[in-house]
Chains A and B, each alone.
Chain A
Amino acid sequence: MTNFLDFSALGMIWKRDLIRLSRDRAQIAGSLARPILWLVILGLGMGSSVSGFGSGRYVEYLFPGIIALNLLFASFLSAISIIWDREFGFLKEMLVAPIPRASIALGKAASGATVSTLQGCLVLLFIPVVGVSVSWARVALALPFMFLIAFAMTSLGLLVAARMTSFEGFGTIANFVIMPMFFVSGAVFPLDRAPRWLSILSKVNPMTYAVEGLRGLMRGGVSWGFLLDLTVLALFALLAVRLAVWAFSRRM
């Protein structure tokens, strides 16, 4: 574990991915389009047909979930960059360099988390549009938590991508991971009246704590409930990044 953190390498890997994002209009457009789609279809469509939220209130319920969704998608997408790097040969340039494998993984997790948090922030632009009532102070409070979510999910994505060689393979697995994690997180509908197996599933789903935490922060600020969500998510992030580092440190 000597030199576990090689900051010049880590910083450079981080910087490179940000430069790449800034030149990739399609990715930015995608992260703007995704929340529109979900907010319109779910927020307006489903909101009018489900009861129990009161009119208009469903969007308020849904909104933190959409932020979490964008974070989740963006995180997995940014983990793809490692497959991209392998496909186009750039990964070799990093792998033969005198830097610890761990700092490649950590650099990738850091850049992915940053890129995803930025994409999560794009959702915040819709606050005035859909009329969610939340103070900007609380939004500011949510930013570090959003970064934590993004970091955890990017690490999970990197763990999946670490030894993958095909985009298609990653896409298939990502769908299998993203969709259940999203729907069983309470992002779209509350799970308190769900069947027992579903609610157990939601309890072991890290996204549940991400969505709950975001909702708690945006609606009521820091509370005991939030601290629990924060702890669970932080522990999950640590575990995921540790596993991602491990996956990278094995020979490839």
Chain B
Amino acid sequence: MTPAIAVSHLVRTYNGLTAVDDLSLEIPAGELFGFLGPNGAGKTTTINILCTLLAPDSGSAHVAGFDCLAQSREVRRAIGIIFQDPSLDERLTAWENLEFHGMIYHLPKLLRRQRMEEVLRLVALWERRHDIVKTFSGGMKRRLEVARGLMHEPRVLFLDEPTIGLDPQTRCRIWEAIERIRSERRTTLFMTTHSMEEATRCDRVAILDHGKLLVLDRPQALIARQGARNLEEVFLNLTGRGLRDEAASENEMLRTRVRRLKRWR
């Protein structure tokens, strides 16, 4: 079976800075995949390439069997995404934002209305649906973004830090929705998160740093292999305790990490 996502030797630079560095991975259909890494590791950049928003410098990326460069239309037909950064029209109402989404994803009217109500109730914005988005709180805006991403039912869904800025209640609801999508529709879910608790719920996780893939395995396997208490410890061991872009000497950090990796293997 063709993998839902296949990335091979992917490279992307931003004027000299290598954001994604020779990344290769394969994700089978139906998997809940956690894409982890410190700030600036290259997660969003990778997602942008997979979503056809960005062209790689070299290497290849396939989603749902289609080439992200040469068959971008086909890829876009197969995917959905919850962006990390705001992407709502704040001058429209919540309802109008979802209506727009439904129209450009060609949901027939009845289904569209039904899905709109479903997702609005899911994130508890049904009562506020006719309010202009600008008047929403930050968390409410985020909830609407997530709701919009769950509206149409793609084969591959990208979730770039979906639960960031959300209260525990909403986070619970969204995880319930994620589990439901997975069991009912076998949607492939590609998610980034900084919550190691959430990451532990994934089938497999990859840890990325400075654009390079450090490890890729089931969370429990990673924890066991390193004799760590939890995924957070694994993450810190691999990526170091220094803050990103504090990197006084990036090479130095890279060297220590390579040493650590060697020791670990």
- Report which A residues bind B (CB closer than 8 A): 8-9, 11-13, 16, 19-20, 23-24, 88-90, 92-100, 251-252
Contact = CB atoms under 8 A, between A and B. Distances in A.
Interface in B74-102: 76-77, 79, 81, 83, 85-92, 96, 99-101
A89 B85 contact: yes
Contact of A93 (B79, B101, B132): B101
Given A12-B103, A12-B104, A96-B53, A88 B76 contact: no
Given A96-B76, A98-B105, A16 B53 contact: no
Q: Give the secondary structure class of A's interface.
A: helix
A105 B131 CA distance: 28
A16 B55 contact: no
A209 B6 CA distance: 54
Contact of B100 (A12, A92, A251): A12
Given A12-B103, A97-B105, A92 B83 contact: yes
A96 B91 contact: no
B51 interface: yes
A89 B55 contact: no
A233 B87 CA distance: 37
Interface string B128-145: 000010000000000000
Interface of B: 51-53, 55, 73, 76-77, 79, 81, 83, 85-92, 96, 99-101, 103-106, 132
Contacts of A12: 99-100, 103-104
Contact of B81 (A16, A88, A96): A96
Nearest to B52: A96
B51 A98 contact: no
A144 to B, nearest CB: 27
A82 to B, nearest CB: 13
B81 A9 contact: no
A28 to B, nearest CB: 14
B73 A11 contact: no
A23 B88 CA distance: 16
Contacts of A90: 87-89
A8 B96 contact: no
A93 to B, nearest CB: 5
Given A96-B51, A97-B76, A16 B89 contact: yes
